[in-house]
Amino acid sequence: MSQSGNGSIIGVMDTGIWPESASFKDEGMENAPPRWKGICQQGEKFNSSHCNRKIIGARWYVKGYEAEFGKMNTSDGVEYLSPRDASGHGTHTSSTAAGAPVQNASFMGLAQGVARGGAPFAWLAVYKVCWATGGCSSADILAAFDDAIFDGVDVLSVSLGSPPPLDTYIDDVLSIGSYHAVTKGISVVCSAGNSGPYSQSVINTAPWVITVAASTIDRAFPTVITLGNNQTFVGQAFYTGEDMNEFHPIVNGQDIAADDSDEDRAKSCVSGTLNATLARGKVVLCFATRSQSSAIVATSAVLDVQGAGVIFAQFPTKDVTLTWGIPCVQIDFAIGTSLLTYMDMTRNPIVKFSPTETAVGQQISPEVAFFSSRGPSSLSPSVLKLMYLSVWLQPDIAAPGVNILASWSPAYSPFQSDMTQKHLPPLDFSIDSGTSMSCPHISGIVALLKAIHRTWSPAAIKSALVSTASLKDEYGQCTVAEGAPHKQADPFDYGGGHVDPNKAIAPGLIYDMGSSDYFHFLCSMGYNHTTISSMTRSSRRCNKSANFLVNLNLPSITIPELKNNLTVSRKVTNVGPANSIYTAFVEAPAGTEVIVKPSILRFNSTTRNLKFKVIFCSTLRVQGRYSFGNLFWLDGFHVVRIPLTVRTVIDNFYAQT
């Protein structure tokens, strides 16, 4: 992808941008294209000089916020009534999507190297719709969508969303705004949410958007814990200080519960549950529970009672939490139990930490992140009664979203409220995790594809990403999803799989759609004409088809209710060599037989589009669980794969016995 996104404009809807960051230098950038209609909106500590040939547009939105939440209050923290970013989130996502290369970037010396965005030569347009004071207004988000469409962006990166319960597509502001953008040819990329590993937690699943799950990378931050008996264990942390290089007493949070506190809550170090006298100057061992699984909460609680450090035992995960004030080392429950054994057998147990190191290539990746939201979508069951529903119930694609180093706003520091850290300089780069971080990875890749394939629709680009995604880790093993416990990943975890940008350039075949498909999708969902017209701003009448939903031309086939047999139609477009022959190969979901007709597709210079049918036959006579498979089209060079997701249900069981 030698063009590096040159020619594409990425719009980022977030908390703004810190324009002075080295990631937004415009060296080597061309001027904004003539088609660009955006502006550089001025405001507090932001004027037209802060835009350049990298940041070609910036807007900010506060009217909706103030109408919904009241007058903007900046007295409790730093904020700017302008496109300037006070929280760091928007700067992080913008630089991840399109940041210029920055040499020797690091977070306090950790993860040092070259930091660059996915499309370093793409232009950036910033739409500040969220605020460091908290909250994003629906009206402001819709206004930003309207402006971005008018301005002429090619891609919209939207690391936003609300956790379940979900609004319907016609009520959800991101679904509405993205619908209008996609019908204008703009690809919209959204976060899948951070409510994993629980089922039915995925968000932003409208079929016209690209929904991104988070995966891990091969970079780790090992931190050695040494006990008084010289036994060592390795956890992970962002600890670069020296205050824990000497031995400190270690205590179990459960054993130092305040007089009026529940020992179980003290076990996980809930705020206010620890005895200050017994915790002062000591390292506190805390165990995550269902009700308290946050290392940040535990660290804050220990800091309040003047503890020296925290060891936080939790479900195994590669996501390292950035804590402040005192060091916090994250370990798994097995190591936590070993520490308890040492403490029980030792009269005066002590512990020390070694400074964190950066290790690359020393852990298996990618894996689906623990926090990444999972399918099936909680929105879809409400409409299952309508008919067979074959819509996308899971994320579309997975991309790196764990421990991502990117530019940050020096106006915000996690250490700013901690008196012991006042000597630290402002952060120009920080490490963060979430589907907010995986979303701009895909946004950058979409910009690369747009630069190469200017005529491809958003659906074509989505198809290219999904149908070429990888199901394997770097060792060729099936990708694992972090959880409790870990398991083999499936489409509910990562959609089509982990993104493979190089293969997405030349996918061979694509499953394409246009604005009329999305309109008829809404019609088939059962919404009335008035409601659909209000959302789409179209006077077009619905022409309902009983089979439209199941035949929506997505790069997936999902059947939540397979009773006996069901036939699904799809259409593929050849974007590879004109004279191509593809043969079908099926890995059938458990409990089903799958037949593809025709099983061979022949393309030539005049035949670029071909339809086929997939016939699903249930072999089960009882209620089943979701099972997964794949449909491949193979031409000897391209591997075009889409996931199959099926759940069998009972259909008049006694009549069959």
Query: Among 128, 189, 155, which Cα is nearest to 7's?
Result: 155
Residue predicted with more confidence, 521 or 546: 521
**What pLDDT score was predicted for residue 390?**
45
Residue 380, pLDDT above cutoff 60? no
CA end-to-end span of the chain, whole Å?
59
> HSE (CB half, 13 Å, CA atoms) of 229?
12
Beta strand ranges found along 87-174 (DSSP E): 102-107, 110-115, 123-128, 155-158
Q: Cβ distance 197 to 483 under 8 Å?
A: yes
Q: Can you name the residues that pair with 311 across neighbouring β-strands?
A: 285, 329
CATH number, span 3-218+431-468: 3.40.50.200
Structure tokens at 117: 């965005």
Catalytic positions are: 14, 89, 436
pLDDT digits (tens, 9 = 90+) for 164-215: 777 788 889 999 999 999 999 999 999 999 999 999 999 999 999 999 999 9
**Helix, strand, coil percentages in the chain from 3-state DSSP, rounded to 5:** 25, 25, 50
Amino acid at 472: K
For the chain, which residues make up each domain, given as ranges? 3-218+431-468, 222-357, 509-513+552-648
With cut-offs at 50, 70 and 90, classify the pLDDT of residue 256. very high
Question: β-strands 219-220, 359-360: how paired?
Answer: antiparallel
Question: What angle do the packed helices 173-183 and 515-524 form, to 10 degrees?
Answer: 150
* Triad 207, 208, 209: Cα angle to 5°: 95
Average pLDDT of 533-557?
85
**CATH fold for domain 509-513+552-648:** Immunoglobulin-like (2.60.40)
Coil, strand or helix: which one is 511? coil
Q: How confident is residue 538, by pLDDT bands cut at 50, 70 and 90?
A: confident
The dihedral over CA atoms of 541, 544, 549, 554, expressed in degrees to the nearest 10, equals -40
Report residue 392's pLDDT band, with 50, 70 and 90 as the boundaries.
low
Task: Specify which residues 644 forms β-bridges with.
Answer: 557, 629
The CATH code for residues 222-357 is 3.50.30.30
Contacts of 398 (CB under 8 A, 6+ apart): 212, 213, 214, 215, 366, 368, 372, 438, 469, 493, 494, 495, 497, 498, 499
pTM of the model: 0.95
Ordered alpha helix ranges (H), 468-524: 491-494, 501-505, 515-524
Least confident range of 417-421, 501-505, 583-587: 417-421
Nearest residue to 156 via CA among 354, 14, 61, 281: 14
Q: What is the pLDDT of residue 383?
A: 38
So what's the pLDDT on residue 420? 39
Interatomic CA distance for residues 317 and 315, integer angstroms: 6
Q: Is 456's pLDDT higher than 70? A: yes
What are phi and psi for residue 84, nearest 5 degrees? -65, 135
pLDDT at 381 over 80: no
